[in-house]
Structure 1
Amino acid sequence: MTTTSATQTPVANGIRVALGIGGVLALIVGVLILAWPNKTAIVVTAIIAIYAIIAGLVYAGLGIFSQHKGGWARVGHIVLGVVYIIAGIVAFMNLAQTTMWLAVFLGILVGIVWIVEGVVAMTALGDASSKAWTIFFAIVSVIAGIAILFSPFWGAQILWWLLGIALIVLGVMNIARAFTFGRRRP
Protein backbone atom coordinates (compact mmCIF):
# COMPACT_ATOMS: atom_id res chain seq x y z
CA MET A 1 0.00 0.00 0.00
CA THR A 2 1.40 3.36 -1.01
CA THR A 3 0.52 6.60 0.62
CA THR A 4 0.50 9.88 -1.20
CA SER A 5 2.46 12.56 0.58
CA ALA A 6 1.19 16.11 0.80
CA THR A 7 3.82 17.18 -1.74
CA GLN A 8 2.25 15.03 -4.44
CA THR A 9 -1.40 16.05 -4.19
CA PRO A 10 -2.84 18.17 -6.99
CA VAL A 11 -4.10 20.72 -4.46
CA ALA A 12 -0.66 21.13 -2.90
CA ASN A 13 0.93 21.41 -6.33
CA GLY A 14 -1.64 24.03 -7.36
CA ILE A 15 -0.99 26.06 -4.23
CA ARG A 16 2.75 25.73 -4.74
CA VAL A 17 2.47 26.99 -8.33
CA ALA A 18 0.17 29.87 -7.29
CA LEU A 19 2.59 30.90 -4.54
CA GLY A 20 5.51 30.75 -6.95
CA ILE A 21 3.82 32.71 -9.73
CA GLY A 22 2.46 35.29 -7.29
CA GLY A 23 5.89 35.60 -5.70
CA VAL A 24 7.68 36.07 -9.01
CA LEU A 25 5.14 38.69 -10.14
CA ALA A 26 5.40 40.57 -6.84
CA LEU A 27 9.19 40.47 -7.04
CA ILE A 28 9.22 41.77 -10.62
CA VAL A 29 6.78 44.60 -9.89
CA GLY A 30 8.68 45.53 -6.72
CA VAL A 31 11.98 45.70 -8.62
CA LEU A 32 10.34 47.76 -11.38
CA ILE A 33 8.93 50.21 -8.83
CA LEU A 34 12.35 50.70 -7.21
CA ALA A 35 14.36 50.74 -10.45
CA TRP A 36 12.03 52.94 -12.50
CA PRO A 37 9.53 54.51 -10.08
CA ASN A 38 8.23 57.18 -12.48
CA LYS A 39 7.91 54.91 -15.51
CA THR A 40 6.24 52.20 -13.44
CA ALA A 41 3.78 54.76 -12.03
CA ILE A 42 2.98 55.89 -15.59
CA VAL A 43 2.33 52.26 -16.58
CA VAL A 44 -0.02 51.87 -13.59
CA THR A 45 -1.79 55.08 -14.66
CA ALA A 46 -2.15 53.69 -18.19
CA ILE A 47 -3.66 50.50 -16.77
CA ILE A 48 -6.14 52.58 -14.77
CA ALA A 49 -6.98 54.60 -17.92
CA ILE A 50 -7.57 51.38 -19.88
CA TYR A 51 -9.79 50.12 -17.07
CA ALA A 52 -11.76 53.39 -17.14
CA ILE A 53 -12.38 53.11 -20.88
CA ILE A 54 -13.41 49.45 -20.65
CA ALA A 55 -15.68 50.17 -17.66
CA GLY A 56 -17.17 53.10 -19.59
CA LEU A 57 -17.93 50.88 -22.56
CA VAL A 58 -19.56 48.32 -20.27
CA TYR A 59 -21.70 50.93 -18.50
CA ALA A 60 -22.70 52.55 -21.79
CA GLY A 61 -23.51 49.13 -23.20
CA LEU A 62 -25.66 48.32 -20.17
CA GLY A 63 -27.56 51.55 -20.65
CA ILE A 64 -28.03 51.13 -24.38
CA PHE A 65 -28.80 47.41 -24.61
CA SER A 66 -30.51 46.65 -21.30
CA GLN A 67 -34.18 45.95 -21.76
CA HIS A 68 -34.87 45.34 -18.08
CA LYS A 69 -33.83 48.72 -16.69
CA GLY A 70 -36.05 51.76 -16.49
CA GLY A 71 -35.45 54.92 -18.51
CA TRP A 72 -33.53 56.84 -15.85
CA ALA A 73 -31.37 53.84 -14.96
CA ARG A 74 -30.45 53.44 -18.62
CA VAL A 75 -29.64 57.15 -18.95
CA GLY A 76 -27.58 56.98 -15.76
CA HIS A 77 -25.57 54.03 -17.05
CA ILE A 78 -24.95 55.78 -20.37
CA VAL A 79 -23.86 59.02 -18.67
CA LEU A 80 -21.60 57.11 -16.28
CA GLY A 81 -20.13 55.22 -19.22
CA VAL A 82 -19.42 58.42 -21.12
CA VAL A 83 -17.76 59.95 -18.03
CA TYR A 84 -15.52 56.90 -17.62
CA ILE A 85 -14.58 56.93 -21.31
CA ILE A 86 -13.77 60.65 -21.26
CA ALA A 87 -11.70 60.21 -18.08
CA GLY A 88 -9.74 57.37 -19.67
CA ILE A 89 -9.11 59.34 -22.87
CA VAL A 90 -8.05 62.46 -20.94
CA ALA A 91 -5.68 60.32 -18.85
CA PHE A 92 -4.11 58.91 -22.02
CA MET A 93 -3.70 62.37 -23.54
CA ASN A 94 -1.07 63.19 -20.90
CA LEU A 95 -0.09 60.20 -18.81
CA ALA A 96 2.67 62.06 -16.96
CA GLN A 97 0.34 64.80 -15.66
CA THR A 98 -2.34 62.26 -14.81
CA THR A 99 0.24 60.23 -12.89
CA MET A 100 1.23 63.33 -10.90
CA TRP A 101 -2.41 64.14 -10.21
CA LEU A 102 -3.09 60.57 -9.04
CA ALA A 103 -0.02 60.67 -6.78
CA VAL A 104 -1.14 63.92 -5.15
CA PHE A 105 -4.72 62.67 -4.86
CA LEU A 106 -3.61 59.41 -3.23
CA GLY A 107 -1.23 61.31 -0.94
CA ILE A 108 -4.07 63.54 0.25
CA LEU A 109 -6.39 60.56 0.63
CA VAL A 110 -3.85 58.61 2.70
CA GLY A 111 -3.16 61.69 4.84
CA ILE A 112 -6.85 62.14 5.60
CA VAL A 113 -7.33 58.42 6.30
CA TRP A 114 -4.38 58.36 8.72
CA ILE A 115 -5.69 61.39 10.60
CA VAL A 116 -9.16 59.85 10.87
CA GLU A 117 -7.63 56.53 11.92
CA GLY A 118 -5.70 58.27 14.70
CA VAL A 119 -8.80 60.10 15.91
CA VAL A 120 -10.84 56.88 15.84
CA ALA A 121 -8.12 55.10 17.84
CA MET A 122 -8.37 57.80 20.50
CA THR A 123 -12.16 57.48 20.66
CA ALA A 124 -11.77 53.73 21.22
CA LEU A 125 -9.22 54.24 23.99
CA GLY A 126 -11.64 52.99 26.65
CA ASP A 127 -11.90 49.58 24.94
CA ALA A 128 -8.17 49.23 24.25
CA SER A 129 -6.24 46.50 26.03
CA SER A 130 -3.08 48.62 25.86
CA LYS A 131 -3.84 52.29 26.32
CA ALA A 132 -0.19 53.34 25.92
CA TRP A 133 0.15 51.63 22.52
CA THR A 134 -3.21 52.99 21.40
CA ILE A 135 -2.22 56.56 22.33
CA PHE A 136 1.18 56.10 20.65
CA PHE A 137 -0.48 54.73 17.50
CA ALA A 138 -3.02 57.56 17.43
CA ILE A 139 -0.36 60.27 17.80
CA VAL A 140 1.90 58.73 15.12
CA SER A 141 -1.05 58.26 12.78
CA VAL A 142 -2.24 61.86 13.14
CA ILE A 143 1.30 63.28 12.78
CA ALA A 144 1.98 61.11 9.70
CA GLY A 145 -1.35 62.14 8.18
CA ILE A 146 -0.65 65.84 8.73
CA ALA A 147 2.87 65.45 7.29
CA ILE A 148 1.51 63.84 4.14
CA LEU A 149 -1.17 66.52 3.77
CA PHE A 150 1.54 69.21 3.77
CA SER A 151 3.43 67.40 1.01
CA PRO A 152 1.15 64.84 -0.65
CA PHE A 153 3.41 64.22 -3.66
CA TRP A 154 6.42 63.52 -1.44
CA GLY A 155 4.26 61.27 0.73
CA ALA A 156 3.01 59.39 -2.32
CA GLN A 157 6.61 58.86 -3.48
CA ILE A 158 7.60 57.44 -0.09
CA LEU A 159 4.55 55.16 -0.09
CA TRP A 160 5.38 54.06 -3.67
CA TRP A 161 8.93 53.10 -2.62
CA LEU A 162 7.60 51.30 0.46
CA LEU A 163 5.22 49.39 -1.80
CA GLY A 164 8.15 48.39 -4.02
CA ILE A 165 10.18 47.20 -1.02
CA ALA A 166 7.19 45.33 0.41
CA LEU A 167 6.51 43.62 -2.92
CA ILE A 168 10.13 42.46 -3.17
CA VAL A 169 10.09 41.07 0.38
CA LEU A 170 6.69 39.41 -0.09
CA GLY A 171 7.71 38.07 -3.50
CA VAL A 172 10.86 36.43 -2.11
CA MET A 173 8.88 35.02 0.82
CA ASN A 174 6.20 33.56 -1.47
CA ILE A 175 8.83 32.03 -3.76
CA ALA A 176 10.42 30.41 -0.70
CA ARG A 177 6.98 29.23 0.46
CA ALA A 178 6.37 27.73 -2.99
CA PHE A 179 9.43 25.51 -2.58
CA THR A 180 8.57 24.48 0.97
CA PHE A 181 4.76 24.28 0.93
CA GLY A 182 3.42 20.86 1.88
CA ARG A 183 6.79 19.37 2.74
CA ARG A 184 6.87 17.30 5.87
CA ARG A 185 9.63 17.85 8.36
CA PRO A 186 11.46 14.71 9.47
Structure 2
Amino acid sequence: MSQRLPRVLSGRDLPLAELTAARIDGEVYSVDECFSPLDEFEIAPHRALALLASFPPRLIAERHTAAWVLGAQPAPPTVHQFCVSIEARTRPTIALRMSVREVVIDAEDLLQVAGLPVTTPLRTAVDLVRCSGDFDDRHLPLVAELMRIGGFGVEHCAELLNRRRNLPDKRVALARLIAAAALRQT
Protein backbone atom coordinates (compact mmCIF):
# COMPACT_ATOMS: atom_id res chain seq x y z
CA MET A 1 0.00 0.00 0.00
CA SER A 2 1.55 3.32 -1.05
CA GLN A 3 1.44 6.28 1.29
CA ARG A 4 -0.17 9.49 0.02
CA LEU A 5 1.93 12.66 -0.02
CA PRO A 6 0.80 15.60 2.13
CA ARG A 7 -1.33 18.19 0.33
CA VAL A 8 1.44 20.76 0.74
CA LEU A 9 5.14 19.90 0.88
CA SER A 10 7.88 22.05 2.35
CA GLY A 11 11.54 21.68 3.19
CA ARG A 12 10.43 19.92 6.36
CA ASP A 13 8.99 17.07 4.28
CA LEU A 14 11.67 16.68 1.62
CA PRO A 15 14.91 18.47 0.75
CA LEU A 16 14.38 21.63 -1.29
CA ALA A 17 16.54 20.26 -4.13
CA GLU A 18 14.29 17.21 -4.39
CA LEU A 19 11.13 19.34 -4.35
CA THR A 20 12.56 21.64 -7.03
CA ALA A 21 13.50 18.64 -9.18
CA ALA A 22 9.98 17.26 -8.76
CA ARG A 23 8.59 20.64 -9.91
CA ILE A 24 10.86 20.60 -12.97
CA ASP A 25 9.73 17.01 -13.69
CA GLY A 26 6.09 18.13 -13.50
CA GLU A 27 5.21 16.10 -10.42
CA VAL A 28 4.45 19.07 -8.14
CA TYR A 29 3.65 22.76 -8.56
CA SER A 30 4.64 25.75 -6.44
CA VAL A 31 2.36 27.15 -3.77
CA ASP A 32 4.27 30.21 -2.59
CA GLU A 33 7.46 28.74 -1.06
CA CYS A 34 5.98 25.24 -0.82
CA PHE A 35 4.84 22.63 -3.32
CA SER A 36 1.73 20.55 -3.94
CA PRO A 37 1.26 17.30 -5.88
CA LEU A 38 -0.23 17.79 -9.35
CA ASP A 39 -3.36 15.80 -8.47
CA GLU A 40 -4.28 18.45 -5.87
CA PHE A 41 -6.16 21.56 -7.01
CA GLU A 42 -4.82 24.72 -5.44
CA ILE A 43 -7.52 26.03 -3.14
CA ALA A 44 -7.57 28.16 0.00
CA PRO A 45 -6.44 25.36 2.35
CA HIS A 46 -3.33 24.75 0.20
CA ARG A 47 -2.38 28.40 0.35
CA ALA A 48 -3.00 28.48 4.11
CA LEU A 49 -0.92 25.34 4.67
CA ALA A 50 1.93 26.87 2.67
CA LEU A 51 1.88 29.91 4.95
CA LEU A 52 1.74 27.74 8.08
CA ALA A 53 4.82 25.89 6.83
CA SER A 54 6.74 29.13 6.31
CA PHE A 55 5.59 31.59 9.00
CA PRO A 56 4.76 31.57 12.73
CA PRO A 57 1.26 30.12 13.30
CA ARG A 58 0.12 32.87 15.72
CA LEU A 59 0.07 35.44 12.90
CA ILE A 60 -3.17 36.41 11.16
CA ALA A 61 -3.07 36.65 7.36
CA GLU A 62 -4.40 40.04 6.27
CA ARG A 63 -4.70 42.42 3.33
CA HIS A 64 -2.95 41.06 0.18
CA THR A 65 -1.96 37.80 1.88
CA ALA A 66 -5.55 37.20 3.01
CA ALA A 67 -6.80 38.11 -0.48
CA TRP A 68 -4.45 35.48 -1.93
CA VAL A 69 -5.52 32.80 0.57
CA LEU A 70 -9.19 33.58 -0.11
CA GLY A 71 -8.66 33.31 -3.88
CA ALA A 72 -9.29 36.95 -4.76
CA GLN A 73 -5.66 37.56 -5.73
CA PRO A 74 -4.10 35.06 -8.16
CA ALA A 75 -0.50 35.19 -6.92
CA PRO A 76 1.00 35.54 -3.46
CA PRO A 77 2.35 38.97 -2.57
CA THR A 78 6.10 39.47 -2.63
CA VAL A 79 5.96 40.51 1.02
CA HIS A 80 3.29 38.71 3.03
CA GLN A 81 1.11 40.86 5.25
CA PHE A 82 0.16 39.63 8.69
CA CYS A 83 -1.28 41.16 11.82
CA VAL A 84 -1.59 40.30 15.48
CA SER A 85 -4.23 41.42 17.92
CA ILE A 86 -3.13 44.38 19.96
CA GLU A 87 -4.39 42.41 22.97
CA ALA A 88 -2.07 39.47 22.23
CA ARG A 89 0.92 41.39 23.56
CA THR A 90 3.34 39.67 21.23
CA ARG A 91 6.38 41.05 19.55
CA PRO A 92 6.11 41.26 15.79
CA THR A 93 8.53 38.92 14.07
CA ILE A 94 11.09 40.52 11.77
CA ALA A 95 11.61 38.70 8.47
CA LEU A 96 12.35 39.71 4.90
CA ARG A 97 9.23 38.29 3.27
CA MET A 98 6.67 39.57 5.75
CA SER A 99 5.30 42.62 7.49
CA VAL A 100 3.41 42.45 10.77
CA ARG A 101 1.26 45.11 12.37
CA GLU A 102 -0.73 45.23 15.59
CA VAL A 103 -4.45 45.79 15.11
CA VAL A 104 -7.72 45.86 16.97
CA ILE A 105 -9.56 42.80 15.67
CA ASP A 106 -12.74 41.00 16.71
CA ALA A 107 -13.45 37.28 16.47
CA GLU A 108 -16.09 37.91 13.78
CA ASP A 109 -13.37 39.47 11.60
CA LEU A 110 -11.54 36.12 11.37
CA LEU A 111 -11.86 32.82 9.54
CA GLN A 112 -9.84 29.66 10.14
CA VAL A 113 -8.50 28.21 6.89
CA ALA A 114 -6.68 24.91 7.48
CA GLY A 115 -5.70 26.16 10.93
CA LEU A 116 -4.46 29.57 9.76
CA PRO A 117 -6.32 32.64 11.03
CA VAL A 118 -7.28 34.82 8.05
CA THR A 119 -9.25 38.05 7.97
CA THR A 120 -12.72 37.65 6.45
CA PRO A 121 -13.32 38.96 2.92
CA LEU A 122 -15.16 41.94 4.47
CA ARG A 123 -12.35 42.84 6.88
CA THR A 124 -9.76 42.24 4.14
CA ALA A 125 -11.52 44.60 1.73
CA VAL A 126 -11.88 47.31 4.38
CA ASP A 127 -8.24 46.97 5.43
CA LEU A 128 -7.05 47.14 1.82
CA VAL A 129 -8.93 50.35 1.03
CA ARG A 130 -8.06 51.97 4.36
CA CYS A 131 -4.48 50.87 5.05
CA SER A 132 -2.77 50.39 1.68
CA GLY A 133 -0.46 53.33 1.09
CA ASP A 134 -0.03 52.34 -2.56
CA PHE A 135 -3.77 51.87 -3.25
CA ASP A 136 -4.85 52.99 -6.72
CA ASP A 137 -7.36 52.03 -9.42
CA ARG A 138 -5.47 48.78 -10.10
CA HIS A 139 -6.62 47.56 -6.66
CA LEU A 140 -10.33 48.14 -7.32
CA PRO A 141 -10.89 44.77 -9.10
CA LEU A 142 -9.31 43.00 -6.10
CA VAL A 143 -11.70 44.72 -3.69
CA ALA A 144 -14.62 43.98 -6.03
CA GLU A 145 -13.62 40.30 -6.09
CA LEU A 146 -13.52 40.21 -2.28
CA MET A 147 -17.02 41.72 -2.29
CA ARG A 148 -18.16 38.97 -4.65
CA ILE A 149 -16.52 36.19 -2.62
CA GLY A 150 -17.92 37.52 0.66
CA GLY A 151 -21.32 38.48 -0.74
CA PHE A 152 -21.31 41.94 0.83
CA GLY A 153 -21.69 45.51 -0.35
CA VAL A 154 -20.65 49.01 0.62
CA GLU A 155 -23.23 49.19 3.43
CA HIS A 156 -21.59 46.23 5.21
CA CYS A 157 -18.19 47.89 4.85
CA ALA A 158 -19.57 51.16 6.25
CA GLU A 159 -20.92 49.26 9.28
CA LEU A 160 -17.48 47.76 9.90
CA LEU A 161 -15.80 51.15 9.53
CA ASN A 162 -18.28 52.77 11.92
CA ARG A 163 -17.73 50.17 14.65
CA ARG A 164 -14.51 51.96 15.60
CA ARG A 165 -14.36 55.54 16.78
CA ASN A 166 -11.59 57.79 15.53
CA LEU A 167 -10.60 55.38 12.77
CA PRO A 168 -8.38 57.25 10.28
CA ASP A 169 -9.12 57.40 6.55
CA LYS A 170 -12.81 56.41 6.76
CA ARG A 171 -13.89 58.83 4.01
CA VAL A 172 -11.13 57.77 1.64
CA ALA A 173 -11.92 54.10 2.33
CA LEU A 174 -15.64 54.61 1.67
CA ALA A 175 -14.96 56.36 -1.64
CA ARG A 176 -12.71 53.48 -2.71
CA LEU A 177 -15.34 50.92 -1.68
CA ILE A 178 -18.02 52.74 -3.69
CA ALA A 179 -15.71 52.70 -6.74
CA ALA A 180 -15.04 48.96 -6.28
CA ALA A 181 -18.77 48.22 -5.89
CA ALA A 182 -19.50 50.14 -9.10
CA LEU A 183 -16.84 48.09 -10.90
CA ARG A 184 -18.41 44.90 -9.54
CA GLN A 185 -21.77 45.79 -11.08
CA THR A 186 -20.38 46.41 -14.58
TM-score range, shorter chain: under 0.3
Q: Which has the higher strand share?
A: 2
TM-score (norm 2): 0.24
> Which structure carries more helix by proportion?
1
Question: Looking at both structures, which has the greater relative contact order when contacts are Cα pairs under 8 Å and sequence separation is at least 6?
Answer: 1
What is the TM-score when the length of structure 1 is the normalising length?
A: 0.24
